[in-house]
Amino acid sequence: MNPVDAGRRDFLGRSAAFAGVALAPGVVLYEIALARETGKAASPAVRWGMLVDTTRCASGCTACVDACHAEHGIPAAVRPTDAQWIRKVELKDLRTGAIRSAPVMCQHCAEPPCVDVCPTGASFKRADGIVLVDRHTCIGCRYCMMACPYKARSFVHEPTTGQKTDTPRGKGCVESCNLCVHRVDKGGAPACVEACAQAGHRAIVFGDLNDPASEIAVRVRAATTTQLRADLRTDNGVLYQGL
Amino acid sequence: MRVTGAGLLALALAGAAWAGAARAPVLDAPRGEQCVEDAATMRRSHMDFLRHQRDETVHRGIRGARHSLAGCIECHANAKDGAVLGSPSHFCQGCHAYVAVKLDCFECHSSRTRAAQAGRPASSP
């Protein structure tokens, strides 16, 4: 780095720190930058993603799962077929005995098999990489459930009650993690990410993979990360570190 | 003919032709000064507005436009239970029962305000 660049970097760093201080408590600079204007469509320049640091994810902690259920009004699963948007998985390396714990949810693939097989167009990928089900057009055929390599999708078998305004859910449709799209559109982070940070683990990082300055892009550049079943070349938006 | 305050407001909003109809439902009084469109337009076209906007919101992620179902509920919910369903005077149910049109929205969508979902007392109309 030449001296001019060093000076510039120092100046930018200090002005960014000043902006951070000047803002009201609880208002983070990057959140304001990410919040989309009213009436604007999701941008294809953005690729939302998550990084799960399995070395920080605590075995037995279900903060992310509980927060997801509370956010989306999903009752606790009673039957094996009840809806499940996110689950905790423990992996053990039989050779070394190493145990890793991590949440698994919709991986928000760039090439989602669930979208390929959907006969009605209900399963779709939004411009910013979030894979969703449009329940207005879902006929409940469950092809997407069979196509998904990550078992991310659930079918709602029973009538639903206690829905939240931002998460309509009903019997006869398939559903899965929507990356808390209502929060993301307001510039926030998904409920599981917030819950993990509140529980003190900070094992999940959310952000724009396409923005080189975002925390997730910096972390992904620095550390070795894996996509689950990378051999399928679905190019997941959820990345795992330390697996 | 004696008309109660709530009934008068509902009838005034419903318009002259509606008020003249036989046994028109008396619905919960809405909050706020006026609706996003005039009453006659809303009565005829609310489903077209909603259907158009839902596609824009779900598929393209456009938020904050004026014709939202959540917006309907926030103004038209019952002052006591914060719902648009539940009795013949509740806004959505009352009118759909009167015109005999099936109401599918709330098979999936919440029929209650955000405040009612959170268990907070509903605000006054």
ipTM computed for the complex? 0.79
Backbone torsion region of residue A128, taken as left when φ is above 0, otherwise alpha when ψ lies between -120 and 50, otherwise beta: alpha
A206 plus A142 within the same structural domain? yes
Residue B26, domain member (yes or no)? yes
A192 plus A146 within the same structural domain? yes
Q: What average pLDDT does this structure show over A19-46? A: 63
Mutate to test the interface with A, among B68, B72, B109 (most CBs of A within 10 A): B109
Q: Which residues in A lie closer than 8 A to residue B113 (C-beta atoms)?
A: 165
Write down the pLDDT at residue B20: 53
Share of chain A above pLDDT 70, in %: 86
Higher-pLDDT residue of B32 and A128 is A128
Write down the pLDDT at residue B18: 57
Residue A170: CB atoms within 10 A of its CB come to: 19
Backbone torsion region of residue A170, taken as left when φ is above 0, otherwise alpha when ψ lies between -120 and 50, otherwise beta: beta
Do A125 and A78 contact (CB within 8 A), yes or no? Answer: no
Q: Supply the pTM of this predicted model.
A: 0.81
Q: What is the pLDDT of residues A35-85, one digit of tens each?
A: 677 888 999 999 999 999 999 999 999 999 999 999 999 998 899 999 999
DSSP state of B83: B
* Residue A164 in tokens: 């939240």
Say if A188 is an interface residue toward chain B (CB within 8 Å): no
Residue B85, domain member (yes or no)? yes
Write down the pLDDT at residue A37: 79
A23 plus A53 within the same structural domain? no
A24 plus A138 within the same structural domain? no
Of A41, A169, A173, the CB nearest to B62: A41
Judged on CB neighbours under 10 Å (0-12, 13-18, 19+), B117 is middle
Closest-CA residue to A32 (of A40, A45, A41, A23): A23
A15 plus A105 within the same structural domain? no
Write down the pLDDT at residue B21: 60
A89 plus A27 within the same structural domain? no
- pLDDT per residue, tens digit, chain B (125 aa), is 444 444 444 444 555 455 556 678 889 988 888 899 999 999 999 999 999 999 999 999 999 888 999 999 999 999 999 999 999 999 999 999 999 999 999 999 999 999 999 887 555 44
A30 plus A50 within the same structural domain? no
At residue A117, does pLDDT exceed 70?
A: yes
Higher-pLDDT residue of A154 and B122 is A154
Say if B2 is an interface residue toward chain A (CB within 8 Å): no
Q: Which residues in A lie closer than 8 A to residue B110 (C-beta atoms)?
A: 73, 163-165, 168
Residue B55, domain member (yes or no)? yes
Q: How many domains does chain A have?
A: 2
A11 plus A85 within the same structural domain? no
Q: Which residues in B lie closer than 8 A to residue A40 (C-beta atoms)?
A: 62
Residue B102, domain member (yes or no)? yes
A81 plus A20 within the same structural domain? no
Domain extent, residue A27, equals 1-34
Query: What residues pair up with B112 in beta bridges, in sequence order?
Result: B83
Residue A39, domain member (yes or no)? no
Domain extent, residue B49, equals 5-117
A209 plus A161 within the same structural domain? yes
Write down the pLDDT at residue A22: 43
Residue B124, domain member (yes or no)? no
Q: How many domains does chain B have?
A: 1
Closest-CA residue to A37 (of B50, B60, B62, B58): B62
* Residue B40 in tokens: 């006659």
**B114 contact partners, CB below 8 Å, separation of at least 6:** A165, B70, B74
User: Which segments within chain A are labelled E, that is strand?
Assistant: 48-53, 86-92, 99-105, 123-125, 131-133, 154-155, 174-175, 204-208, 225-226, 238-241
How many angstroms separate the CA of residue A133 from the nearest CA in chain B?
9
Q: A127, B60: Cβ pair inside 8 Å?
A: yes
Residue B58, domain member (yes or no)? yes
Write down the pLDDT at residue B16: 46
Confidence label for A243 from pLDDT (cuts 50, 70 and 90): confident
At residue A31, does pLDDT exceed 70?
A: no
Residue B104, domain member (yes or no)? yes
**Residue A236 backbone phi and psi in degrees, to 5:** -70, 145
Residue A40, domain member (yes or no)? no
Residue B123, domain member (yes or no)? no
Share of chain A above pLDDT 90, in %: 82
Closest-CA residue to A150 (of A190, A108, A189): A108
**What's the CATH code of the domain at A229?**
3.30.70.20
The mean pLDDT of chain A is 88
Q: What is the spatial distance between Cα A194 and Cα A189, in angstroms, rounded to a whole number?
A: 7
At residue A9, does pLDDT exceed 70?
A: no
